[in-house]
């Protein structure tokens, strides 16, 4: 996968969240091909919001604003975990690919580390 944006080449968070969003889009397209629209849209919204907020954080007006935007991304990552778990345990939905769980977890860990490091550097 090639990214045109120079900031994405340098920013691991943007790379991971972009990849996660692409994988979520692919899974949601599979769900929609099976007429599983309602929950698919929830996953699509939260899954693509993670990267959108992370990207928006790159233009934050202050460290507090940066942390706030990344905390929104972290909350969206938690919501994604909920939807994926719901799919995994529902008999009428296909199981999500393991890569989605792995990408979501690595994204959440990365967000947590960045938030924590930024808070420490703020003092």
Q: What is the pLDDT of residues 49-93, one digit of tens each?
A: 999 999 999 999 999 999 999 999 999 999 999 999 999 999 999
Q: Which pLDDT belongs to residue 10?
A: 77
Confidence of residue 2 (pLDDT cuts 50, 70, 90): very low
Domains within the chain, CATH numbers bracketed = 12-122 (1.20.1440.60)
Q: At a CB cut-off of 8 Å and minimum separation 6, what does 52 contact?
A: none
Nearest C-alpha neighbor of 83 from the set 24, 8, 7: 24
| pLDDT tens, position by position, 4-25 | 444 445 799 999 999 999 999 9
For range 41-50, the mean pLDDT: 97
pTM greater than 0.85: yes
Give the residue from 76, 81, 73, 78 showing the smallest Cα distance to 55.
73
Please list, in sequence order, all residues whose beta carbon lies within 8 angstroms of the beta carbon of residue 99, skipping any fewer than 6 positions away: 23
Say which DSSP state 36 is in.
Answer: -
């Amino acid at each position: 996968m090639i990214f045109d944006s120079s900031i994405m080449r340098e920013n691991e968070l943007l790379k991971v969240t972009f990849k996660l969003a692409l994988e979520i889009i692919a899974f949601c397209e599979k769900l929609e091909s099976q007429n599983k629209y309602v929950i698919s849209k929830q996953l699509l919204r939260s899954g693509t919001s993670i990267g959108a907020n992370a990207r928006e954080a790159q233009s934050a007006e202050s460290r507090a604003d940066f942390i706030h935007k990344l905390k929104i991304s972290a909350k969206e990552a938690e919501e994604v975990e909920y939807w994926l778990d719901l799919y995994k345990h529902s008999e009428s939905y296909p199981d999500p690919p393991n890569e989605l769980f792995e990408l979501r977890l690595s994204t959440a860990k990365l967000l947590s580390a960045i938030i924590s490091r930024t808070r420490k550097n703020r003092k």
